[in-house]
Structure 1
Amino acid sequence: MTVFKKILFFIQALLNPAVPSRMKYEMGACLLYFISPIDFVPDFIPITGKADDIVILFWGCKRVFDVLKLHRQSLALKSKEANGTP
């Protein structure tokens, strides 16, 4: 897949009503926290300052994969229904 197709697939996943809104909001919150200059643990504190950003980033990545997985399952289900297979 090209990068454009991957981005388009991700946008379709965000617009898919089969994907719970909570997951979408959590991804947005992770992104906002990661780019925000305000942190729970300030970045100037050694090790722990960056650790909270890394934890949030990994959690957000997991959410992205979960959303894409649900979107793929939804597409597969629609495809089966369209083909008439149970």
Structure 2
Amino acid sequence: MFKKMKAWAKNLKRQIFILYYACKDHRVPWYAKVFTACIVAYAFSPIDLIPDFIPVLGYLDDVILLPLGIMLALKMVPKHVLSDCEIKAEELMRNGKPKNWIGGSIILLIWVVITVWAVTKIYPLFS
């Protein structure tokens, strides 16, 4: 069972890298790029929609929502683009993924802005 879960996680990681390259490809329609970019950003983000410390529900996004989003995004991308992106993703996984500190900083900044906005909107309701 552990080997099966490990293979599933590796395949999920591969699909995220495929989507990463797909959202950069000019042959992908704009609506698919937007959706795909959101899925990839969420997958790479260290912050989850549902925090992992919440029993059972905490892993719901990692086990159900993220794979569902990946599946939908893969269906939006044209097949010929997917085949090109699969080759690039396999190469990336063999060579090790690059670190993108600028992208990570932007994602962190977006989450900070969302958190500050949410706190300023919700806090007055309880005062």
TM-score range, shorter chain: 0.5 to 0.7
Residue 59 of structure 1: CA displacement? 1.3
Cα distance in 1 for partners of 2:75, 2:26 equals 15
Relative contact order: is structure 1 or structure 2 higher (C-alpha 8 Å, sep ≥ 6)?
1
Q: Which residue of 1 aligns with 2:72?
A: 62
Gaps of 5+ in 1: 1-6, 73-86
- Percent identical among aligned pairs is 31
Cα distance in 1 for partners of 2:39, 2:45 equals 10
Which of 53, 57, 60 matches 1:48? 57
Q: Which amino acid aligns with 1:20?
A: P
Q: Which residue of 2 aligns with 1:27?
A: 36
Residue 71 of structure 1: CA displacement? 5.5
| 1:14 partner SS | coil
Gaps of 5+ in 2: 1-17, 83-127
Cα distance in 2 for partners of 1:21, 1:70 equals 16
| 1:37 partner SS | coil
- TM-score normalised to the size of structure 2? 0.38
Q: CA RMSD in A?
A: 2.8
- TM-score normalised to the size of structure 1? 0.52
Cα distance in 1 for partners of 2:62, 2:78 equals 23
Contact 1:43 1:49 in 2 (8 A): yes
Cα distance in 1 for partners of 2:44, 2:56 equals 18
Which of 25, 47, 57 matches 1:14? 25
C-alpha spacing 1:70/1:48, structure 2 compared with 1 (3 Å): farther
